[in-house]
């Protein structure tokens, strides 16, 4: 009779060693693929003349790589050090806000590859040099800029995107504006009144700004002389900058070219940044851009400067999206990053109001971040990688908490979007994933 001794359970070290082996395979496999793509000139989608849209194969390998590297850090880094690192990320965000707000990338661009000393840089942008040098060194540690010599800095790949880029700088300034609300979120969550509330009037925003107004009401306030808040213009320009980061995938990962001479209504479209891209790419399309009256006034100036004669194809219209829509003959109604601004009940109300207006053949396109649960999404082909690609999806969940802290709204999963859509008497036809953080949720009448 043979007596077998059971194997002892694997130790934490053994499990981590196995994880490292699996992750090394993923990193090497996708790293080699990315090198091949780069060396053969296949990083950029050949359909995109601007050179800003990455190819599908680059997108797939890069997100696998980012997810693998993120999980590798979790496996190899001492847990306490990782927690301390995460606890201090607010300083890293602040450093990025200083970088953008002071226009530092533009100044560094003048210095070229050799860079500029912290002392000279501080004089140029009006920040105490020794303090600015410490901020720059933190940015260099995160590979946002590079330190080319002791206390000397130059643009790196990340900071270079901000050079002469006022819209993107404005978006970073918008993020800076929202930042204190995140710091106040813990207090809001623990409060017996604001914690369980989903009201836009009971968020961290009210606590920080000492106001009883919801964010959108506050943003449109004027002073006693009728002057608008400067944040309104920054917000509008920042949304254009945010759109520029992802506009190419939204143009090419949905079949706009099959719509012919369709009329497209951009509901809650801001100054119309998204339609500007469609306007240039698809000359048969006509557009109606709708938003609140102050935003539409701003849109007239933006469109007039960029596209003289835009009135032939574009109508700018004030519209309350909680009311029945004034345009009843369009083919497509787009709501880009609108539904995520609202809790479930008003979000359903927006779609219900639109249902009263759209013709039978029309479709509604929600352009939103569709969250992927870490365990139920079938996206990742590697069992060890979280199904939402882990670190790669950080920006989605950061935005989700931004919406919670400012307006008590949220990003949503596909099933949560379906619930809202069906609650408005509509149905989801298809979800179109793109090469960016946003997806198209295509909706029709039931």
What is the distance of C-alpha 50 from the center of its chain? Answer: 20
Same-domain check for residues 33 and 142: no
* Dist CA 264 CA 240 (whole Å): 18
Residue 227 lies in a domain: no
**At 286, which CATH number?**
3.40.50.150
Interval 353-386: pLDDT, tens: 999 999 999 999 999 999 988 775 556 678 999 8
Same-domain check for residues 152 and 57: no
* Dist CA 383 CA 390 (whole Å): 12
- Residue 294 pLDDT class (50, 70, 90 cuts): confident
Please give the average per-residue pLDDT across 4-32, as a whole number: 87
Interval 307-341: pLDDT, tens: 999 999 999 999 999 999 999 999 999 999 999 99
> Phi-psi category of 342—alpha, beta or left, where left has phi over 0 and alpha has psi -120 to 50?
beta
pLDDT at 381: 78
Which residues, other chains included, contact 367 with Cβ-Cβ below 8 Å and sequence gap of 6+? 250, 274, 334, 335, 336, 337, 438, 439, 440, 441
Same-domain check for residues 300 and 398: yes
Residue 7 lies in a domain: no
| Catalytic center residues | 340
Interval 160-204: pLDDT, tens: 999 999 989 999 999 999 999 999 999 999 999 999 999 999 999
Q: What is the value of pTM for the model shown?
A: 0.89
> Phi-psi category of 127—alpha, beta or left, where left has phi over 0 and alpha has psi -120 to 50?
beta
Strands 370-371 and 412-413: parallel
* Dist CA 156 CA 113 (whole Å): 9
CA separation, residue 277 to residues 233, 248, 384, 436 (Å): 20, 8, 38, 16
Residue 335 lies in a domain: yes
Number of domains, the chain: 4
Q: Which letter does DSSP use for residue 392 in this model?
A: G
Residue 232 lies in a domain: no
Which of 46, 67, 85 is where one domain is finished?
85
Residue 8 lies in a domain: no
Which of 185, 220, 255 is where one domain is finished?
220
> Phi-psi category of 115—alpha, beta or left, where left has phi over 0 and alpha has psi -120 to 50?
left
pLDDT at 201: 96
Q: Which domain holds residue 139?
A: 88-162
Which of 162, 185, 208 is where one domain is finished?
162
Residue 230 lies in a domain: no
Residue 182 lies in a domain: yes
pLDDT higher than 70, residue 304: yes
Residue 266 lies in a domain: yes
pLDDT higher than 90, residue 101: yes
* Dist CA 54 CA 22 (whole Å): 27
Same-domain check for residues 385 and 314: yes
* Dist CA 440 CA 418 (whole Å): 13
Strands 363-368 and 439-445: antiparallel
pLDDT higher than 90, residue 6: no
- Evaluate whether 442 touches 365 at the Cβ level (below 8 Å): yes
Same-domain check for residues 372 and 421: yes
- Element at 444 (helix H, strand E): strand 439-445
For 291-298, the CB contacts below 8 A with 24+ separation are 291/318, 291/319, 292/216, 292/220, 292/318, 292/320, 293/318, 294/220, 294/228, 294/232, 295/232, 295/236, 295/270, 295/271, 298/232, 298/233, 298/236, 298/271
Same-domain check for residues 77 and 134: no
φ, ψ dihedrals at 333, nearest 5°: -115, 115
SS3 at position 272: coil
Q: Which two tokens stand for residue 177?
A: 């504006």
Same-domain check for residues 250 and 214: no
What is the distance of C-alpha 313 from the center of its chain? Answer: 28
pLDDT at 244: 80
Strands 263-267 and 286-291: parallel
Q: Tell me how many helices (H) and strands (E) the chain has.
A: 16, 12
- Evaluate whether 419 touches 409 at the Cβ level (below 8 Å): no
**At 133, which CATH number?**
1.10.10.10
Same-domain check for residues 281 and 429: yes
Closest to 263 in 3D by CA, of 287, 279, 282: 287
pLDDT at 245: 82
pLDDT higher than 70, residue 122: yes
Q: Is the dihedral of CA 409, 412, 416, 422 positive or negative?
A: positive
- Evaluate whether 159 touches 147 at the Cβ level (below 8 Å): no
* Dist CA 205 CA 251 (whole Å): 34
Same-domain check for residues 109 and 210: no
* Dist CA 214 CA 317 (whole Å): 23
Same-domain check for residues 275 and 364: yes
What is the distance of C-alpha 164 from the center of its chain? Answer: 21
- Evaluate whether 411 touches 371 at the Cβ level (below 8 Å): yes
Same-domain check for residues 146 and 175: no
pLDDT higher than 60, residue 388: yes
Please give the average per-residue pLDDT across 42-61, as a whole number: 92
Same-domain check for residues 293 and 438: yes
């Amino acid at each position: 009779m043979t007596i077998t001794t059971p194997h002892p359970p694997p130790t934490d070290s053994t499990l981590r060693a196995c994880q490292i082996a699996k992750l090394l395979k993923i990193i090497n496999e996708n790293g080699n693929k990315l090198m091949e793509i780069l060396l053969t000139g296949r990083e950029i989608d050949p359909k995109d003349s601007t050179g800003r849209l990455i190819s599908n194969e680059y997108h797939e390998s890069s997100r696998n790589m980012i997810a693998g590297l993120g999980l590798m850090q979790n496996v190899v880094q001492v847990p306490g050090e990782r927690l301390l690192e995460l606890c201090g990320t607010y300083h890293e965000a602040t450093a990025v806000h200083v970088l953008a707000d002071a226009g530092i990338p533009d100044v560094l661009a003048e210095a070229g590859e050799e860079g500029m000393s912290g002392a000279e840089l501080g004089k140029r942008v009006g920040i105490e040099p020794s303090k600015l040098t410490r901020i720059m060194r933190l940015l260099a540690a995160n590979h946002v800029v590079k330190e080319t010599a002791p206390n000397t800095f130059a643009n790196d790949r990340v900071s270079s995107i901000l050079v002469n880029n006022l819209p993107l700088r404005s978006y970073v300034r918008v993020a800076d504006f929202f930042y204190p609300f995140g710091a106040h979120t813990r207090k809001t969550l623990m409060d017996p009144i604001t914690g369980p509330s989903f009201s836009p009037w009971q968020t961290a925003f009210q606590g920080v700004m000492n106001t009883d107004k919801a964010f959108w009401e506050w943003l449109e306030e004027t002073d006693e002389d009728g002057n608008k808040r400067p944040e309104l213009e920054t917000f509008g320009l920042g949304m254009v900058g945010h759109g520029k980061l992802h506009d190419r995938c939204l143009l090419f990962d949905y079949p706009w070219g099959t719509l012919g001479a369709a009329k497209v209504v951009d509901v809650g479209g801001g100054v119309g940044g998204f339609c500007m891209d469609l306007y240039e790419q698809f000359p048969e399309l006509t557009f109606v851009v709708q938003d609140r009256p102050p935003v539409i006034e701003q849109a007239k100036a933006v469109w007039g400067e960029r596209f003289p004669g835009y009135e032939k194809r574009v109508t700018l219209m004030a519209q309350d999206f909680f009311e029945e829509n004034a345009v009843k003959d369009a083919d497509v109604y787009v709501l880009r990053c609108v539904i995520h601004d609202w809790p479930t009940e008003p979000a359903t109300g927006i779609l219900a109001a639109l249902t009263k207006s759209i013709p039978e053949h029309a479709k509604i396109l929600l352009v939103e971040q569709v969250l992927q649960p870490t365990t139920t999404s079938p996206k990742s082909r590697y069992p060890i990688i979280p199904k939402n690609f882990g670190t790669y999806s950080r920006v989605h969940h950061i935005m989700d908490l931004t919406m919670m802290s400012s307006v008590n709204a949220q990003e949503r999963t596909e099933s949560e979007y379906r619930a809202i859509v069906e609650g408005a008497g509509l149905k989801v036809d298809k979800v179109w994933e793109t090469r960016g953080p946003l997806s198209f949720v295509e909706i029709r009448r039931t």
